Amino acid sequence: METISMETINWEDFTKVELRVGRIISAAAFPEARKPSYVLCIDFGEELGVKKSSAQITDLYTPEELTGKLVVAVVNFPNKQIGPLMSECLVTGFHNEKGNVALCVPDKPVPPGAKLL
Protein backbone atom coordinates (compact mmCIF):
# COMPACT_ATOMS: atom_id res chain seq x y z
CA MET A 1 0.00 0.00 0.00
CA GLU A 2 1.33 3.43 -0.99
CA THR A 3 1.93 5.93 1.81
CA ILE A 4 0.51 9.38 1.11
CA SER A 5 2.49 12.29 2.48
CA MET A 6 0.34 15.12 3.82
CA GLU A 7 1.46 18.51 5.01
CA THR A 8 0.46 19.21 8.59
CA ILE A 9 -1.42 22.43 9.31
CA ASN A 10 -2.33 23.95 12.63
CA TRP A 11 -5.76 24.90 13.91
CA GLU A 12 -5.21 28.58 13.06
CA ASP A 13 -4.53 27.65 9.41
CA PHE A 14 -7.75 25.62 9.25
CA THR A 15 -9.86 28.37 10.78
CA LYS A 16 -8.80 30.73 7.97
CA VAL A 17 -10.70 28.59 5.44
CA GLU A 18 -14.31 29.80 5.27
CA LEU A 19 -16.37 26.73 4.32
CA ARG A 20 -20.05 27.62 3.98
CA VAL A 21 -23.23 25.92 2.81
CA GLY A 22 -25.02 27.42 -0.15
CA ARG A 23 -28.11 26.55 -2.16
CA ILE A 24 -27.69 26.36 -5.92
CA ILE A 25 -30.30 28.67 -7.43
CA SER A 26 -29.28 28.10 -11.05
CA ALA A 27 -26.94 25.95 -13.11
CA ALA A 28 -26.17 26.40 -16.80
CA ALA A 29 -23.72 25.01 -19.32
CA PHE A 30 -20.42 26.90 -19.53
CA PRO A 31 -19.35 26.35 -23.17
CA GLU A 32 -16.40 28.77 -22.90
CA ALA A 33 -14.67 26.59 -20.25
CA ARG A 34 -11.74 24.41 -21.36
CA LYS A 35 -13.28 21.32 -19.72
CA PRO A 36 -17.03 20.60 -19.60
CA SER A 37 -18.43 22.72 -16.76
CA TYR A 38 -21.47 24.48 -15.38
CA VAL A 39 -21.83 28.04 -14.14
CA LEU A 40 -23.48 27.83 -10.75
CA CYS A 41 -25.25 30.69 -8.96
CA ILE A 42 -25.22 29.84 -5.27
CA ASP A 43 -27.16 31.57 -2.49
CA PHE A 44 -25.14 31.78 0.73
CA GLY A 45 -27.81 33.62 2.71
CA GLU A 46 -28.24 37.20 3.80
CA GLU A 47 -24.68 37.76 5.05
CA LEU A 48 -22.84 36.64 1.88
CA GLY A 49 -25.52 36.80 -0.81
CA VAL A 50 -25.31 35.06 -4.19
CA LYS A 51 -21.94 34.02 -5.63
CA LYS A 52 -21.00 32.46 -8.97
CA SER A 53 -18.70 29.51 -9.53
CA SER A 54 -17.58 27.23 -12.33
CA ALA A 55 -17.80 23.51 -11.56
CA GLN A 56 -16.58 20.53 -13.59
CA ILE A 57 -19.44 18.27 -12.52
CA THR A 58 -21.17 17.58 -15.84
CA ASP A 59 -20.52 13.82 -15.73
CA LEU A 60 -22.62 13.22 -12.62
CA TYR A 61 -25.16 16.07 -12.56
CA THR A 62 -27.62 17.84 -14.83
CA PRO A 63 -28.51 21.51 -14.39
CA GLU A 64 -32.06 20.51 -13.42
CA GLU A 65 -30.97 18.26 -10.56
CA LEU A 66 -28.48 20.84 -9.27
CA THR A 67 -31.08 23.58 -8.81
CA GLY A 68 -32.09 23.64 -5.14
CA LYS A 69 -29.19 21.41 -4.03
CA LEU A 70 -27.13 22.36 -0.96
CA VAL A 71 -23.34 22.42 -1.49
CA VAL A 72 -20.23 23.20 0.56
CA ALA A 73 -17.93 25.90 -0.84
CA VAL A 74 -14.88 27.92 0.13
CA VAL A 75 -16.06 31.53 0.09
CA ASN A 76 -12.94 33.45 1.11
CA PHE A 77 -10.56 32.73 -1.78
CA PRO A 78 -9.83 35.71 -4.02
CA ASN A 79 -12.06 35.86 -7.10
CA LYS A 80 -10.63 33.97 -10.08
CA GLN A 81 -11.17 34.70 -13.76
CA ILE A 82 -12.21 31.53 -15.62
CA GLY A 83 -12.73 32.49 -19.25
CA PRO A 84 -15.48 35.12 -19.29
CA LEU A 85 -16.64 34.17 -15.76
CA MET A 86 -15.36 35.73 -12.54
CA SER A 87 -15.59 32.80 -10.10
CA GLU A 88 -16.40 34.01 -6.58
CA CYS A 89 -16.20 30.76 -4.61
CA LEU A 90 -14.87 27.21 -4.86
CA VAL A 91 -17.44 24.42 -4.72
CA THR A 92 -16.00 21.33 -3.01
CA GLY A 93 -16.22 17.71 -4.10
CA PHE A 94 -14.46 14.37 -4.31
CA HIS A 95 -13.27 12.35 -7.30
CA ASN A 96 -14.96 8.97 -7.62
CA GLU A 97 -13.27 5.83 -8.99
CA LYS A 98 -13.78 7.10 -12.57
CA GLY A 99 -12.35 10.55 -11.81
CA ASN A 100 -15.73 12.31 -11.89
CA VAL A 101 -16.45 14.91 -9.22
CA ALA A 102 -19.16 14.16 -6.65
CA LEU A 103 -20.22 17.25 -4.70
CA CYS A 104 -19.56 17.64 -0.99
CA VAL A 105 -23.03 18.17 0.49
CA PRO A 106 -24.56 18.25 3.98
CA ASP A 107 -26.59 15.13 4.72
CA LYS A 108 -29.33 17.08 6.53
CA PRO A 109 -30.95 20.45 5.77
CA VAL A 110 -29.02 23.46 7.05
CA PRO A 111 -29.56 27.15 6.27
CA PRO A 112 -27.62 28.81 3.45
CA GLY A 113 -24.56 30.55 4.87
CA ALA A 114 -24.03 28.03 7.67
CA LYS A 115 -20.31 27.71 8.44
CA LEU A 116 -18.46 24.43 8.76
CA LEU A 117 -17.44 24.04 12.41
CATH label of the domain that carries residue 76: 2.40.50.140
Q: What is the mean pLDDT of the chain?
A: 95
Query: What's the pLDDT score for residue 1?
Result: 64
Could you tell me if residue 70 is inside a domain?
yes
Helix (H, G, I), strand (E, B) or coil at 58: coil
| Rounded Cα–Cα distance for residues 93 and 63 (Å) | 16
Could you tell me if residue 11 is inside a domain?
no
Instruction: List pLDDT tens digits, range 3-45.
Output: 777 889 999 998 999 999 999 999 999 999 999 999 999 999 9
pLDDT beyond 90 at 2: no
Could you tell me if residue 109 is inside a domain?
no
| Helix and strand element counts for the chain (H, E) | 3, 9
Instruction: List pLDDT tens digits, range 67-89.
Output: 999 999 999 999 999 999 999 99
Query: What's the pLDDT score for residue 3?
Result: 72
Could you tell me if residue 116 is inside a domain?
no
Could you tell me if residue 4 is inside a domain?
no
Predicted TM-score (pTM) of the model is: 0.91
For 48, residues 6+ apart whose C-beta sits below 8 A from its C-beta are 20, 22, 75, 113
Could you tell me if residue 111 is inside a domain?
no
Specify the number of domains making up the chain: 1
Query: What's the pLDDT score for residue 64?
Result: 97
Could you list the residue range(s) of the whole structural domain that residue 56 is in? 16-103
